[in-house]
Structures are given as structure tokens and as C-alpha cells.
Amino acid sequence: MKTSDFVILAAIGFYLIGMLFIGFYYSHKNNSSDDFYLGGRKLGPFVVAMSAEASDMSSWLLMGLPGVAYLTGVADAFWTAVGLAVGTYLNWLIMARRIRRYSQNIGAITIPDFLSKRFHDKSNVLNCIAAVMIVVFFVPYTASGFAACGKLFHSLFGIDYMTAMLISAIVIFSYTVMGGFMAASTTDLIQSVVMTIALFVVLIYGTHMAGGVDAVMQNAQALEGYLSFSATHNPATGAAESYSPLTVASNAAWGLGYFGMPHILLRFMAIEDEKKLVLSRRIASVWAAVSMCVAIVIGIVGYGMSKAGAIEMFTTSGQSETIIVKVAGLLSLHGVIPAAVAGIILAGILAATMSTADSQLLAASSSVSQNLVVDFFKVKLTNRQGLRVARLTVLAISIIACFLARNPDSSVFQIVSFAWAGFGGAFGAVMILSLFWERTNRDGALAGMLSGGVMVFIWKFLVRPMGGVWGIYELLPAFVVSMIVTILVSVITPAPDAEVIAEFRKTLRSSASEEK
């Protein structure tokens, strides 16, 4: 093994050991399932902000977004980033304070739990269906994170994919199962810092290797449609292709997914003081916007590096997504300290993946242990028993995710895109209406959740393949259908009980008074 490889491996190893230490530290602070899944609602504003954003972005930020910008230019990546940045801000502005207040008032610690208690669903059918949907979309989503870690180690060091994937899964599982929500949130904070360092180091070093800013811009301007916001570059033909308003809307629709993301909404519920959500919103919104802008620029700089001969020319998305890995490899050739920095960069990719996977594990396991075992099947557990069931559920879901991730050729980002649409379609509109429209009832919420979730499958596999105007991202039609169905069914079925409406109005009044 070369010295540079050893230093990189040591840096990554040190980072992974640090994550395990955090899990061990918080393992003694969980006394109940409420502590395990929501940290006892004790998170500070900075931890909440950065944990939410780190668990949101995943390896897509350091691999997918630069890769898209490298191949097709600004438009695709930019409009997706705009949708996500606006979605991030609106999610914090519209949803955060109210779901924090409402969830505390009704004693909800998970999203299915919130929906069930919000509508006083004594049958727990709403709870069960929501939990099943979370598991359906989150388990393969978690598997994609395990797979991404395995591919990274395999491509860097030639380690067998299965071995690398299993080691990564064991580390993520270990600190999550030991420390629960507090460990996941604290590691997410650290991982967001590592991701930020990785982005800026790659940007600065990559620009230098590409010949400077002027050289990067000249190379980008030479490609038709590459720097346009209303056209995109086709790498196969070398020509510019028009970018219709429908395509803009389709890409920007990614932002709708935030309103239904269980692992992000849980961060809002966990803050120690809802008044601090304003600070969290500012931190999160600025970090998300800046990090995505830097990631897009890295893609353009990456093309400049290829033209300068610093790295090979990429022709497929699978290749272009490795820009940051290639830059780290170049940096490691300059000595021990640069190799250590390269290790931090690669740890940033791991951090992006791990910060999402740990949150997904917790959200999926809470749906099984809390919403199915305790709420739906009425199994009574003590605090200690509930904590044990929670940890066993994390183990079971980790094993299933490892099984699903066993294929090294699986497409990580297609799975991420589909799962994102699934959550936004099934829960986005329902969560908005449940927090802001008192006439929303149990039947409307159930119908909206089912119609949105089913529409994701229908549009993805039956409608979108037809192409043309039908080729839009499945989240957009699923969200619209869910919104319409929730409203219609709520209107044509009996209004919520007086007790439910009184509870809604009480929460609304208290939230409004706090905002003043």
C-alpha cells in the first residue's frame, strides 16, 4: 500500500472511530424510547439545523449534483438546487414551529404517531399505513446509503464490495443503535462540518488544477448551452437543448419532498425551544444554498480539469459522479499532509452518506417498534423493554438493508430519487393540510396518503416512460393528486369531532401568540 493510501485510510479510520465513540457516549443517556427516537426534545438550534441538512443532502450533494453539472452544465443542477433551497426555507418557515408545538401538545414522537393522534384515530389504521409506507420507502433508501459506502471503499482501495459495504453498515448501525437520536444528530453535525470542508477544499484545489477561474469559464463557454439557465448541454451530441418551463417545474418539484420527509420533520420536533427555530432556519437555509452552489461549481470546475488534462474526460454519470474522489486522489500525491486532507475529503463523502443512513434507520425502526408493535398491535412495554425493541428493530432493518445492497451494480441515485418522491407524494400534502386546515379529517388524510403513494408508482413505471410532457418527475403529480384527494375526501366525509377541532384551534392560537 502506498503511503498516500495509508494516510487516507488512517484519516477515514480515525473519523469512523470518532463516530463510534459518540454512539457509545450517548448510549448511557437513553432511558426510554422517547429519548432514543427524539432525544427528549433537547436539541439546540445549531445541532437541529445542521443535523436536518446533513441528513437531507446525503451523498447526492458531493457526488450526484457535481456529476450532473459536469455533464450537462448549469440548468439541470441549478433548477433542482433552486427547488431544494426554496423547499428547505419554506419547510423551516411553514412547518417547523407548528409541528414542534403540535407534536408536543399531543405527545407524538414519530410522524405516524403524529397523524394518528392529530385525528384521534382510535383504530390506528392511519398509524399503521403511515408506518408501512415509511418502511417501504426507507429500507431501500437506507440500502442505497450502505451501497454508496461500499462502492467508495471498493473504488478507492480495491476492497471487496461486500466487505466494504458490510463494514460501513456495521459502523452506521453501531453508533445509531447505541446512541439513538442524540448520537445520530451529533454525528450529523460533525458530518456537516466535514462535508463543508470537503466542498471548499475541492473547489479551491480543483480551480487551481484547471488553470484558474478564467480557464474554467473559457472551457465552459465553449460548450453550447453549458452555462445557460434556459438550455442544457447534451454531452452525446455536443448541442444545446431547450429547457422548457415544464422541465424547470419538474426539477424544482424536488423541493416539495421536504414537507413529507419523516427524518427531517423529526428534527423540528426535537428542538429544545421552538423560539430557537428562527435561528435554526437561518443556519439551515444559508448552508443548504451555499453548499449546493459550491457543488454545482465543482462540476463545472471538474470539466475544466478534464480539459486541462488533470483528470480524465468523463462521458457517463457514473464517471462524472466521482469528480471529488478524483480530486482527492490528485491532492494525496503532494505529500502526507495533503493526503490527510484528501482523507478528510473522502470522509466527507462518507459523512454525507452516513448522516442520511443513520436518520433513515431511526425513522424506519420507530415506525416498526413504536407505531406497529406498540400502537397498532397494542403490545405494552416498559421503558427498558421499549428501548430494547427499538434497538432490535434497528438491527433487523440494517440486516434487510444489507441484503438489498448486496448488488454492487444497483443505482444509488435512482433509488434516492424514487424514495424522495415517495415521501413527498405520500406525506407532503397531508402534513401541510393537517397542520393548517382544521377541516382535514382522518379519512381525507388516509386517502391523500394512499393516493399520493400509489401515484408515485403509477407515474414512475407507467406514465413517465412515455416521455414528452409525461416525463416529469413523479413527485409533482403525486403531490398534486394527494392534495386534491385529501381536500375532496375531507369535504365529502363528516367533519372532525369537536374535540379534534378544539385541539387544532388551541394549538393554532398558541402558535400565533408565540409568533407575535
What confidence category does residue 290 fall into, taking pLDDT thresholds of 50, 70 and 90? Answer: very high
- The mean of the pLDDT values for the chain is 89
Q: What is the pLDDT of residue 411?
A: 63
With 0-12 / 13-18 / 19 or more C-beta atoms within 10 angstroms meaning exposed / middle / buried, residue 116 is buried
Q: What is the CATH number of domain 3-26+44-410?
A: 1.20.1730.10
At residue 220, the 3 state secondary structure works out as helix
Using one digit for the tens of pLDDT, what is the confidence trace for 413-461?
A: 677 788 899 999 999 999 999 999 999 999 999 999 999 999 999 999 9
Phi–psi pair at 496, nearest 5 degrees? -60, 155
- Is 80 exceeded by the pLDDT of residue 471? yes
Lowest-pLDDT choice from 4-8, 310-314, 347-351 = 347-351
Lowest-pLDDT choice from 18-27, 304-313, 461-470 = 18-27
Torsion over CA: 50, 51, 55, 56 (sign) = negative
Count of alpha carbons within 13 angstroms of residue 342, beta-carbon side: 26
Determine the average pLDDT of the residues in 44-61: 86
For 263-301, the three-class secondary structure string (H helix, E strand, C coil) is HHHHHHHHECCHHHHHHHHHHHHHHHHHHHHHHHHHHHH
With 0-12 / 13-18 / 19 or more C-beta atoms within 10 angstroms meaning exposed / middle / buried, residue 236 is exposed
Highest mean pLDDT among 34-43, 54-63, 72-81, 394-403: 72-81
Using one digit for the tens of pLDDT, what is the confidence trace for 181-233?
A: 788 888 888 888 888 999 999 999 999 999 999 999 999 999 999 999 999 99
What confidence category does residue 510 fall into, taking pLDDT thresholds of 50, 70 and 90? Answer: low
Which residue in this structure is represented by grid cell 437513553? 30
Q: What is the pLDDT of residue 298?
A: 97
For 79-131, the three-class secondary structure string (H helix, E strand, C coil) is HHHHHHHHHHHHHHHHHHHHHHHHHHHHCCCCHHHHHHHHCCCCCCHHHHHHH
Cα distance between the two ends of the chain: 62
What cell does 359 get? 436518520
Cα(363)–Cα(213) distance, rounded to whole angstroms? 43
Buried b (16+ CB within 10 A) or exposed e, 376-401: beeeebeeeebbebbbebbeebbebb
Where is pLDDT greater, at 40 or 68? 68
Using one digit for the tens of pLDDT, what is the confidence trace for 139-178?
A: 888 888 888 888 878 877 788 889 989 988 998 888 888 8
- Is 50 exceeded by the pLDDT of residue 42? yes
Using one digit for the tens of pLDDT, what is the confidence trace for 70-98?
A: 999 999 999 999 999 999 999 999 999 99
pLDDT over 90 percentage in the chain: 51
Q: Which residues contact 172 (CB under 8 A, 6 or more apart)?
A: 145, 146, 149, 354, 357, 358, 361, 398
At residue 335, the 3 state secondary structure works out as coil
What confidence category does residue 299 fall into, taking pLDDT thresholds of 50, 70 and 90? Answer: very high
Where is pLDDT greater, at 61 or 255? 255
Name the residue ranges covered by the structural domains of the chain: 3-26+44-410
What cell does 232 get? 442544457
pLDDT over 70 percentage in the chain: 97
Q: What is the pLDDT of residue 516?
A: 47
**Pure H helices in 373-472:** 383-404, 412-423, 429-436, 442-458
DSSP string, 165-195: HHHHHHHHHHHHHHHHHHHHHHHHHHHHHHH
Q: Are 328 and 202 in contact (CB under 8 A)?
A: yes
What cell does 436 get? 393548517
- Is 70 exceeded by the pLDDT of residue 1? no
What cell does 138 get? 426507507
Determine the average pLDDT of the residues in 341-348: 89
Using one digit for the tens of pLDDT, what is the confidence trace for 234-287?
A: 998 999 998 888 989 998 999 999 999 998 999 899 888 888 999 999 999 999
Q: What is the pLDDT of residue 226?
A: 95
